[in-house]
Structure 1
Amino acid sequence: NTTSDKIAYTSRKKTGKEYALSTNSDIYVYDLNTKKTTNISEGIMGYDTNPQYSPDGKSIAWQSMERDGYESDQNRLMVMNLETGEKTFVSKDFDSNVDGFVWSADAKALYFTGVWHGESQVYKIDLTDGNKITPLTSGMYDYAGVALLDENKLIVQRHSLSMGDEIYSIDLADNNKVAQLTTENKQIYDQLEIGKVEGRWMKTTDGKQMLTWVIYPPHFDPNKKYPTLLFCEGGPQSPVSQFWSYRWNMQIMAANDYIVVAPNRRGLPGFGMEWNEQISGDYGGQCMKDYFTAIDEMAKEPFVDKDRLGCVGASFGGFSVYWLAGHHVKRFKAFIAHDGIFNMEMQYLETEEKWFANWDMGGAYWEKQNATAQRTFANSPHLFVDKWDTPILCIHGEKDYRILANQGMAAFDAAVLRGVPAELLIYPDENHWVLKPQNGVLWQRTFFEWLDMWLKK
C-alpha cells in the first residue's frame, strides 16, 4: 500500500531454520526519496500483514498478531499515527479475528469483516468515538472482501452454506441497506431445491454451549430415518461459519440424502479467545469430546438413523477422523479422511510449518519432561489402530507439504493390515487442497460412492 512518496509492505526477513520456526513478519515502510526502509512493527512478535494507509495519509493500519510461532493468534487491527508514532489496538472490543478491512473515505472509521457465532459479518470501528465497534450486517451469511466504492457505499462478497459468492453493496447512508449486485449463478440455483440449515446450541461435557450447524436434505421428511454425517473442520482453528466450498459442500452432501452435523467444536474462532485457544496442546482432548457431543445429541432425533452414521474431514479434520476411528466405540459405520495426520511424530518432523508443530503439539516428542508435548504424541492416531474396526477411505495429494501423503498411505496400509475395509485415493498433482476441477469431480464421485456403500446398503 502506498502514499505518494512511501511504500508499506509485509515481509518475514528470516532464512533457513529461523524462517521455519517463526511467524514474525513485520511492516516495513520504504521512502522513495531517501531510499531508506523503516520497520514500524518492530517488537510485535507475530504476523504483521496487510498495511493500508489512511486516505488522509496521516495513519497506517494493519493486521497484527502478538505472539511469535502462533499462526492462529488473535488477528488484531492496529492503527499507527504517522506523526506521533503511537500504535493503537483499535479492535480490542472484538473478541475474535479481523479477517479483512478498509478505511472510510474520511479516515475517521474502519470497516472490517470478522467471525462471531458461526457467521462472518461487516463491522465499523469509529475512531472518533473511543474505537466503538458496531455491526453493519446480520443473518446466516459470511461476508468477505470488503472494499470502499465511495464515501457512502461498501462493496463486499457474500456467501453461505447454501450459496456461492455474489457481490453486494452496503449503503452506509441508508441504514446499511444490503443490495445484491450480481446474480452469476441464478440460472443454476433456480433449478435446485436447497436444504434447510439451522443452528443448534448443545451443552458440552464441560458445561459450555456449542453452536452446531445442521444441514437437512432438500426433501426432508421428519418421519423418515436418514444416514447422518459428522463433519470435522480443519485448521484446526478455522471457523465452521457460513462457508462455501466446492469440495466440502454441505448442500451437495444433503442433496445425496444425508443429514450433516457440523459443530463449532473447541478450537474455533468466533466464540472468544479462550474457546479458540483451548485446542493447542490438546488435540485428543476436549475437541474430541465436543465431536461426540454433537453426533450423540443428533443421534437422539427420531429422523437420524443412529445405525448409519459417518464421519468425514480434512487436514485437522482428517486427523480427527483417524483419531475417532480408534475411539468411537462403534458409533460410526464409515470414515473418510482427507490430508489428515496419522502419525504425530512423523508429522512433527515432516511439515514445512515447524512453528505450527511446535505451538500446536506443545514441543518435540523427544522432550520427555514436556507434559504438553508428551500428551500430544500419546494421542497420535497411529497408536490406536488396534481398535480400528470401521471402513475407511483415505484421500491425499502427493504435493501436500503441510501433511505429507505418506500419512494417508500409512493409514490405508494400517487399515488393510488390520483387516478393515479401506480405499486409497492419491492425487499426484494436488497439494493440501484439491484445486483442479476434474480432480474435484473424481473427489465427489469417490466420496459418495464410499458413503453410499456403507451407509445406504
Structure 2
Amino acid sequence: MKLKKVIFLSILITFSVRAQITMTPDLLWRLGRVSLEDLSPDGRSLLYGVTFYDIQDNRGTKLVYQLPISGGQAVLIAGEEVSVSSAGFIDNNTVYYISGGQIFVKSGNQTTQLTDIEGGISMGKVQKLSNGTYRIFVVLEVSASDYKLPTYKNLDKARFRLYDDLMYRHWNYWEDNQVQHIFYADVPPGTSKVKKAVFKDIMENEPYDAPLKPFGGTEQFTGTFDGRYIFYTSKKLRGKAYALSTNSDIYRYDTESGTTTNITAGQMGYDLNPTLSPDGRLLAYLSMERDGFESDVPRLMIYNISTGQTHMILDDFYLHDVVWESNNSLLVTYDDSATVQIGRVRIDPRRIRTSFTPVTSGWFNYGSIKTAAGILLASRMDMNHAPEVFRIDRKGQAMQITQVNSSIFQTIRKPIVTRRLVPTTDGRQMLVWVILPPDFDENKKYPVVLYCQGGPQSPVSQFYSFRWNFQVIASQGYIVVAPNRRGVPGFGREWNDAISGDWGGQPMRDYLSAVDHVAAESWADEEKMGAVGASYGGYSVYMLAGLHEGRFKALISHCGLFHMESWYGTTEELFFANWDLGGSYWDKPIPMSYTKHSPHLYVDRWTAPLLVIHGELDFRVPVEQGLQAFQAARLRNLPSKLLLFPDEGHWVLKPQNALIWHSEFFRFLDSFLKN
C-alpha cells in the first residue's frame, strides 16, 4: 500500500465520521488497528503497528512506526510497499521487521535484507547476543515424515486425501504431513541475505510443531543471552495422542552439544511461553495443571537454569502476558472481574517467596505489555475505544501514547456502558454489562439483544471486538445485555470450572436471569428481545431456542454447536470435547451433554425466527452443525436464513465478508425487533 493511499484513507475516515455520528460496520472497518510491537532497551522509543483495511482490495496492510516515548513525530519504518507482519528492537538503534516473508534490519536510514529464504518464513525474530552477534530465529515448514500418497497408474487426475490416524484436520486446514520447526543462525551485524542452508533446525527429524499450531507465535521460544540455550514450546505427540492431550512442554536445546532436555516433564497440561530474566538466570513460563483442560488456570512457574529447580509462584489468577521487569520482579496481565489488568509479582529467588500487587484498575483491558528502563507500555481498550498504546506510571495511571483513532472516537456519539450485579437462580451474583444506545432516553423503549459469549471459558470483558462489537450493536438502537455467565475466568476457579459438563444447565439459567433482570426495566421492550452468539455462544442460542418460553423474537447463531453427538464425531481437538462434555457419547453412563444438553433435543419447542451463519472452513465446529439447525428451523416452518461463507473458518476475517456479515446480522434483527 502506498503512503499516499494511507493518507487518502485517513481523509476518507475523517469525512465519514463527520457524516456519521455513531459507529457503523463500515466505519469500524476503516479504523486503524493498533498493535504494540516493542520497546527499546533504553526505554526511549517504541515500535507500533497500524493495520488499515482496503475494502475494495479485500485485504489489510500493516505499517510499522517508531515513536519517541517523550513525544514527537512517529517515523514510518516499513509497510509502505509491502505489509509488515511483526517488528522489534535488536538494540537501541537497530530494528528488525518481517515483510514479504523475509527479515529486514534497519539502522538509521540504512535498510538491509537479513534473510533470503526460498518460500519465505512464517515468523521469526532477531536477538543480539552478549558477544554482539545477531542470532536470527526463523520458523519454517518441514516434512514430518517421508510418507507420500500412493500413486495409481493411469489415474493422474484423481484428487484425494488418505489418513490412518487423528488429527487429520485442525481449525481450518487439513493435515498435509508438514510441521513447523524453529531454525537459528548466528551472524555478525551487517550480514545480508542469509540463506536457509546457514540455519540449524533445533528439532531435526522430529515430527512435531514448534511453536504450536495454529496460534503459537514467537512468544513460544527464547534464547539465553550467551547463545548456549534455546527454550521452546512443543507438544511432542502424534496421531490420536495429540488429539486427546494438551500436554505441551518447555524444552531446552543446547546449541553446543545439540541435545534437548524436557524441563517440564511431569507437568501434564499446557506449558507455554518461556521468558528469561534480565540476568539470564531464571526462566518464567505458564503452566496448566490438568491435561485435557485447555482453559485451566495458568500457573506462573520459575525455572532456575543453573540448578534445574522449578517453583510454582502464582496460581491465583487467570494470566496472559508475562514479562520480566527486573531480576526479581515480573509484570503480568490477568482477568479480573470482567476486565484485564496489569499486576506485579515480586520474587525472592532464594526462598521463592512472592507478593502480588495490582498495578492498574478501571473498566479496561490491558495487553501486550512491554517494559524496559523503568518504562511500562501496554495496549489498552474498552467497549467504546479500539486498542491504542498507553504508558503506565508507578501509580498505575495511564497516559495515551498513540492517537491513531482518537479523532474518530472524539467525534462519534458513543453508547453508555453500565455494569450491574444480577442474582442467579442458585443464589450467586453475576456481573452483567448492559450497553445502552447513544443518546439513551429512559422514557423510551428499546429492543434488547442478549449476547452469548463463546469460549466457553472466555470472559465478557472490556474488549473491543472487530466482529462482535457492542458499540456497533448499541449504536443501531439496541440495548445489549452481556452476562459473565458460569464458566468465564476472572471470578475464581470454581466459577471458571462450573461450566464443564454442564453446558446447557446453569449457564442457560444465568443467561435468562440476566435478560429477565434487564427486561424488567421500563426502557426495555420485553416484546422485542433477541439472542445472538458465536461458537459456544452459538450453541447457547440453539439451546435457548428450546428453553426461552417465548422471550425471544429473533435468534442469530454463528458457528454454533447443534447436535452434540455428530459434533463429537467431526470436531478435531478431542481433548476439548472430552473435558467440556464429560467424555464421548458411547461412554457409560452417557454424559448429560448428549442426553440432556444437546440443542437438537428441544427443536420441538422452537418458536423464534433463526439466522444461522457458518464458515465452510470451520473444522472446530464443522458446517454440518449449522446446516442441521437451519434445516430443523425450516421444517418447523420458522422464518429462517442460512448465511454461509465458503472461504471462512470459525471467524469471518475478510473485510467484504465481514461487511456482508454485519449487513445480514442487522437486517435480520431489525426485521423482527424493530418492525
Indicate whether 1:452 and 2:667 are aligned.
Answer: no
Q: What residue is the counterpart of 1:156 in the other structure?
A: 378
- Report the Cα offset of residue 376 of structure 1: 4.1
Q: Which amino acid aligns with 2:240?
A: K
Of 38, 48, 65, which residue of structure 1 is paired with 2:271?
A: 48
Q: Deviations over 1:260-295 (max 9, x none)?
A: 000000000000000000000001111111001000
For the Cα contact (< 8 Å) 1:362–1:376, is it kept in 2?
A: no
Instruction: Please give the alpha-carbon distance, in whole angstroms, between the structure 1 residues aligned to 2:323 and 2:263.
Output: 19
Alignment of 1:362-381 (within 5 A): 362-370=582-590, 373-381=591-599
Instruction: Please give the alpha-carbon distance, in whole angstroms, between the structure 1 residues aligned to 2:307 and 2:625.
Output: 52
TM-score (norm 1): 0.97
Alignment of 1:178-193 (within 5 A): 178-193=398-413
Q: 3-state SS of the aligned residue for 2:569?
A: helix
Q: Which amino acid aligns with 2:370?
A: A
Q: Deviations over 1:325-361 (max 9, x none)?
A: 0110001000000000000001111111110110001
Q: What residue is the counterpart of 1:207 in the other structure?
A: 427
For the Cα contact (< 8 Å) 1:282–1:376, is it kept in 2?
A: no
Of 232, 248, 270, which residue of structure 2 is paired with 1:9?
A: 232
Q: What residue is the counterpart of 1:328 in the other structure?
A: 548
- Report the Cα offset of residue 208 of structure 1: 0.5
Alignment of 1:116-127 (within 5 A): 116-127=336-347
Q: What residue is the counterpart of 2:144 in the other structure?
A: none
Of 431, 439, 452, which residue of structure 2 is paired with 1:219?
A: 439
Q: What residue is the counterpart of 2:47 in the other structure?
A: none
Structure with the higher fraction of residues in helix conformation: 1
Q: Deviations over 1:157-187 (max 9, x none)?
A: 1111111110111233xx3332111011122
Q: 3-state SS of the aligned residue for 1:127?
A: strand
Q: Which amino acid aligns with 1:365?
A: Y
Of 564, 568, 577, which residue of structure 2 is paired with 1:357?
A: 577
Alignment of 1:103-252 (within 5 A): 103-104=324-325, 106-128=326-348, 130-148=353-371, 150-172=372-394, 175-252=395-472
For the Cα contact (< 8 Å) 1:119–1:142, is it kept in 2?
A: yes
Moved over 2 A (4+): 83-86, 374-378
For the Cα contact (< 8 Å) 1:344–1:377, is it kept in 2?
A: no
For the Cα contact (< 8 Å) 1:46–1:68, is it kept in 2?
A: yes
Of 602, 621, 629, which residue of structure 2 is paired with 1:411?
A: 629
- Report the Cα offset of residue 444 of structure 1: 0.7
Of 7, 13, 33, which residue of structure 1 is paired with 2:256?
A: 33
Instruction: Please give the alpha-carbon distance, in whole angstroms, between the structure 2 residues aligned to 1:439 and 1:396.
Output: 12
Worse-matched range after superposition: 19-28 or 361-370: 361-370
Q: What residue is the counterpart of 1:272 in the other structure?
A: 492
For the Cα contact (< 8 Å) 2:361–2:396, is it kept in 1?
A: no
Q: What residue is the counterpart of 1:75 in the other structure?
A: 298
Q: 3-state SS of the aligned residue for 1:155?
A: strand
Q: Deviations over 1:375-396 (max 9, x none)?
A: 5442210111111111000000
Structure with the higher fraction of residues in strand conformation: 2
Q: 3-state SS of the aligned residue for 1:219?
A: coil
For the Cα contact (< 8 Å) 1:117–1:271, is it kept in 2?
A: yes
- Report the Cα offset of residue 190 of structure 1: 2.5
Alignment of 1:283-294 (within 5 A): 283-294=503-514
- Report the Cα offset of residue 83 of structure 1: 2.4
- Report the Cα offset of residue 247 of structure 1: 1.3
Instruction: Please give the alpha-carbon distance, in whole angstroms, between the structure 1 residues aligned to 2:514 and 2:397.
Output: 36
Instruction: Please give the alpha-carbon distance, in whole angstroms, between the structure 1 residues aligned to 2:560 and 2:593.
Output: 19
* CA 1:341–1:391: 2 relative to 1, 3 Å: same
Q: 3-state SS of the aligned residue for 1:312?
A: strand
Q: Deviations over 1:93-120 (max 9, x none)?
A: x3x311111001x311010001110010
- Report the Cα offset of residue 244 of structure 1: 1.1
- Report the Cα offset of residue 15 of structure 1: 0.6
Worse-matched range after superposition: 377-386 or 278-287: 377-386
Q: Which amino acid aligns with 1:159?
A: M
- Report the Cα offset of residue 374 of structure 1: 3.5
Q: Deviations over 1:21-50 (max 9, x none)?
A: 111000001011111111000000000010
Q: 3-state SS of the aligned residue for 2:489?
A: coil
Of 369, 386, 401, which residue of structure 1 is paired with 2:604?
A: 386
Q: 3-state SS of the aligned residue for 2:240?
A: helix
Q: What residue is the counterpart of 2:318 in the other structure?
A: 97
Q: Which amino acid aligns with 1:187?
A: S
Instruction: Please give the alpha-carbon distance, in whole angstroms, between the structure 2 residues aligned to 1:163 and 1:90.
Output: 34
Q: What residue is the counterpart of 1:86 in the other structure?
A: 309
Larger Rg over CA atoms: 2
- Report the Cα offset of residue 322 of structure 1: 0.2
Unaligned segments of structure 2, at least 5 residues? 1-221
Q: Which amino acid aligns with 1:152?
A: G
Q: Which amino acid aligns with 2:646?
A: P
Q: 3-state SS of the aligned residue for 2:353?
A: coil
Q: Deviations over 1:63-106 (max 9, x none)?
A: 110111110111111111222222122223x3x311111001x3
Q: 3-state SS of the aligned residue for 2:223?
A: coil
Indicate whether 1:339 and 2:562 are aligned.
Answer: no
Q: What residue is the counterpart of 1:309 in the other structure?
A: 529
Percent sequence identity over aligned pairs: 50
Worse-matched range after superposition: 313-322 or 68-77: 68-77
TM-score (norm 2): 0.66
For the Cα contact (< 8 Å) 2:501–2:592, is it kept in 1?
A: no
Of 241, 257, 260, which residue of structure 1 is paired with 2:477?
A: 257
- RMSD of aligned alpha carbons: 1.0
Q: 3-state SS of the aligned residue for 1:122?
A: strand
For the Cα contact (< 8 Å) 1:227–1:309, is it kept in 2?
A: yes
Worse-matched range after superposition: 312-321 or 405-414: 405-414
- Report the Cα offset of residue 402 of structure 1: 0.5
- Report the Cα offset of residue 403 of structure 1: 0.1
Instruction: Please give the alpha-carbon distance, in whole angstroms, between the structure 1 residues aligned to 2:516 and 2:558.
Output: 23
